[in-house]
Amino acid sequence: MAAVLPPEKLSETHRPTLDRALDAIRSRAYWSPHPEHPKAYGEDGVPGSLGPAEGKAAFDAVLNTRFDLGQPGTDGWVGGETSPYGPKLGVEYPHVDPDVLLAAMRSGMGAWRAAGPQTRALVCLEIIARINARTHELAHAVMHTSGQAFVMAFQAGGPHAQDRGLEAVAYAYEEQTRTPSAADWAKPQGKRDPLRLHKSFTAAGRGISLLIGCNTFPTWNGYPGLFASLATGNPVLVKPHPGAVLPLALTVRLAREVLAEAGFDPNLVALAAENPGEGIAKSLALRPEVKIIDYTGSSSFGDWLEANARQAQVYTEKAGVNTVVVDSTDDYRGMLSNLAFSLSLYSGQMCTTPQNLLIPRDGIATESGTKSFDEVAADLAEAVGKLLGDDARANGLLGALVNPDVKARLEAAPELGEVALASRAVANPEFPDAVVRTPVIVKLDGSGPADGAAFLSECFGPVSFAVAVDSTAAALDLLRRTVREKGAMTVGAYTTSPEVESAVEEVCFDESAQLSLNLTGGVFVNQTAAFSDFHGSGGNPAANAALCDGAFVANRFRMIEVRRQA
């Protein structure tokens, strides 16, 4: 049977997008093929896409159903997602027998390898396009698993995640095609005939790739590994966080649909859901068939994977302690409002949210004179308070706390030091059971050993520390120590001094951290844009990989050479 989606049709549709993506990763200028405004979808929007009402209806229709993917090796049904906004999702997913499923996943690998880098990339782009068309549905799924507010779930869980997936495909394609598929080699031998060989080079995937998803950004953190592995020839088994299965289950369904239409084995992408507490990630990660693992989550399990899943290439994003050095500014209000937004967005539940704001004890220079440490802390508290003063706006920015652990950390934070800004509960009229909280800011002493224990641990959630340091130099020392020992996904700094700017840069170069300088407008330290910004550095303890670079894709396949006498 001929494929519904033959390579030439895929090429006509998607090759121009791939080329634009390849240009973008080379120039690192702004680019995205995925509109981020909800109104851009539906009638008169992205062709074939679901509009707001259709997306909501599609989401509602999947609730309280059995999500049958037709996978081999299904030995039961599991599910137990509860929205951080209150409702139970009631969706049941296939539970798998890995002995059956992994074997089935491997059987399609030869044809997928033989398809070559371009066809694999184009199939991935078709999958991403199908996902994009259902962004409204996915937005509800992300919202009701992560607790993100709708607009963020729509943008970060939709177009921005799709951008990161496409970026990974572009890197994967480029990496595989750096070596030509064939070469003729002729080595001169003086007066004798040259030695001649014909050589072929085939990008061969390593084996099954395991994606271990997270609760807070199931698609944004999941798509890079999923598409990097699939585009480089590997089947991908998706093991979502038990609290955030639906966004990845919807993704797997679309991937399987496209693979089948393009004439490939749909089992190249499969889902492995689990009962809460079952811990199948651990046993899957040690299977000999699993050669690649992508993981986002706690440092303890990430470190365990790196140490124990020795048969696999392991890519981790773990926890870090993000720091902002506040030395001086010529736009004090801009700095405060920028920081206030960064601390508030998704209740600080981003791996990129600043935790420690290092502020010299004697104050900082601003365009309106020196501001003391206490003034900066108080003014920042006021800025956050104003930003979140209106409950509707607060709900739109904060979203809901993803789980009770976050709430517990938030509630324990005032015991750590003097509270500069207390957290308050925000009522959500649409979802009365949602736990919505504004951030707490606690003042700590950068020289105090007891305080150090607090600010040198990751306190995931809406908790930040205004840390008094002896000087900017002391702030840089603490920054260096924090990144080296604890890792960091982001570093921010505010300074009007070129010397301080250079010194912060040197620390970030030395310790491998991504730096945002003097952000006072509409870009925030916790946001990175695909095709232009690297997410994490892969060089400090917060993550062993960056999204996305050559290192993220180059070891997901091996280039196999066959040489013959010519």
User: Residue 190: what are its φ and ψ, rounded to 5°?
Assistant: 65, -125
29 binding a second copy? (CB under 8 A): yes
* Binding span for a second copy by CB under 8 A among 266-274, 279-287, 430-438, 554-562: 554-562
Cis peptide before 214 (omega within 30 of 0): no
Residue 186 identity (one-letter amino acid): A
Please give the angle made by the CA atoms of 8, 165 and 214, to the nearest 5 degrees. 145
Closer to a second copy by Cβ: residue 223 or 494: 494
Residues 215-244 that bind a second copy (CB under 8 A): none
Kindly list the distances between the CA atom of residue 454 and the CA atoms of 153, 238, 352, 417, 564, in Å, as whole numbers in the listed order: 30, 35, 18, 9, 63
Nearer to a second copy, 61 or 182 (CB): 182
Of the candidates 49, 145, 202, 215, which one interacts with a second copy according to CB under 8 A?
202
- Give the closest residue to 525 by CA, choosing from 353, 327, 344, 326: 353
Strand partners, 178: none
Tell me the torsion sign for CA atoms 28, 31, 36, 41.
negative
Scanning 58-66, 85-93, 208-216, 557-565 for contacts with a second copy by CB under 8 A, the matching segment is 557-565
Rounded distance, CA 339 to CA 164, Å? 25
Please tell me the distance from the alpha carbon of residue 64 to that of residue 77, in angstroms, as a whole number: 13
Q: How far apart are CA 120 and CA 132, in angstroms?
A: 18
Closer Cβ to a second copy, 114 or 392, answer by number: 114
Find the binder of a second copy among 4, 195, 392, 412 (CB under 8 A).
Answer: 195
- 412 near a second copy, rule: CB under 8 A: no
Angle among Cα 219, 221, 226 to the nearest 5 degrees reads 75
Is residue 306 near a second copy by the rule CB under 8 A? yes
User: Residue 283: how many CB atoms within 10 A of its CB?
Assistant: 10
| Structural tokens at position 166 | 């496409």
Over its C-alpha atoms, the chain yields an Rg (Å, rounded) of 25
Q: Side chain identity at 551, as an amino acid letter?
A: A
**Residue 82 to residues 64, 240, 376, Cα–Cα distance (Å):** 12, 14, 39
Q: Is 508 in the site for a second copy (CB under 8 A)?
A: yes
Which of these ranges, 304-312, 340-348, 383-391, 426-434, lies near a second copy under the rule CB under 8 A? 304-312
Q: Which residues 6+ apart lie within 8 Å of 215 measured at CB?
A: 145, 146, 241, 243, 244, 402, 403
Does the protein bind a second copy through residue 517 (CB under 8 A)? yes
Which amino acid is residue 43, in one-letter code?
E
Tell me the number of residues near a second copy by CB under 8 A: 69
Contact map string, positions 371 to 410, toward a second copy, x by CB under 8 A: ----------------------------------------
Q: Does 520 bind a second copy (CB under 8 A)?
A: yes
Stretch of 6-14, 27-35, 61-69, 86-94 lying at the interface with a second copy (CB under 8 A): 27-35
Contacts with a second copy in 466-505 (CB under 8 A)?
505
- Of the listed pieces 26-34, 399-407, 422-430, 465-473, which binds a second copy according to CB under 8 A? 26-34
Residue bearing tokens 């500014």: 329
Asked if residue 307 binds a second copy (CB under 8 A), the reply is yes
Residue 419 main-chain phi, psi, to 5 deg: -85, 120
| Binding of residue 427 to a second copy (CB under 8 A) | no
For the bound state, the minimum distance from the C-beta of residue 306 to a second copy, rounded and expressed in Å, comes to: 7
Q: Is 549 in the site for a second copy (CB under 8 A)?
A: yes
Q: Which is nearer to a second copy, 228 or 248 (CB)?
A: 228
Kindly tell me which residue out of 2, 43, 44, 310 binds a second copy, with binding defined by CB under 8 A. 310
Binding residue (CB under 8 A) for a second copy from 4, 61, 111, 186: 186
Q: By CB under 8 A, tell whether 316 contacts a second copy.
A: no
The structure tokens listed for 563 are 């040489």
Task: Determine which residue in the list 16, 27, 48, 64 makes contact with a second copy, applying CB under 8 A.
Answer: 27
- Asked whether 222 and 246 are in contact (CB, 8 A), the reply is no
Q: What's the min distance (Å) between Cβ of 63 and a second copy?
A: 34
DSSP-H helix ranges across 207-365: 223-231, 246-261, 280-285, 299-308, 332-344
Minimum CB separation of residue 102 from a second copy in Å reads 15
**Residue of the chain from 6, 8, 23, 28 that contacts a second copy (CB under 8 A):** 28
The minimum distance between CB 456 and a second copy, in angstroms, equals 18
What is 158-200 written as a DSSP string?
THHHHHHHHHHHHHHHHHHHSS-SEEEEEEEETTEEEEEEEEE
Which range of residues in 13-21, 135-143, 363-371, 548-556 is near a second copy by CB under 8 A?
A: 548-556
Which residues inside 86-125 make contact with a second copy, applying CB under 8 A? 109-110, 113
Q: Is 189 in the site for a second copy (CB under 8 A)?
A: yes
Binding range to a second copy, per CB under 8 A, among 208-216, 268-276, 467-475, 544-552: 544-552
Sign, CA torsion 71/77/83/88: positive
The DSSP bridge partners found for residue 441 are 421, 464
Task: Examine residue 515 and tell whether it contacts a second copy (CB under 8 A).
Answer: yes
Q: Which stretch binds a second copy (CB under 8 A): 303-311, 322-330, 365-373, 466-474?
A: 303-311
Least distance in angstroms from the C-beta of 353 to a second copy: 17
CB of 473 to a second copy, least distance (A): 17
- The strand pairing partners of 492, in sequence order, are 324, 516
**Angle 116-133/246-261 helices, nearest 10 degrees?**
130
335 binds a second copy (CB under 8 A): no
CB of 35 to a second copy, least distance (A): 11
DSSP characters over 82-105: B-TTS-B---BEEEE-HHHHHHHH
What backbone torsions phi and psi does residue 562 show, to the nearest 5 degrees?
-120, 120
Q: Which residues bind a second copy (CB under 8 A)?
A: 25-30, 109-110, 113, 175, 178-180, 183-189, 194-195, 197, 199, 201-202, 204, 206, 306-307, 310, 505-506, 508-510, 512-523, 529, 532-534, 537-539, 546, 549-551, 554-555, 558-565
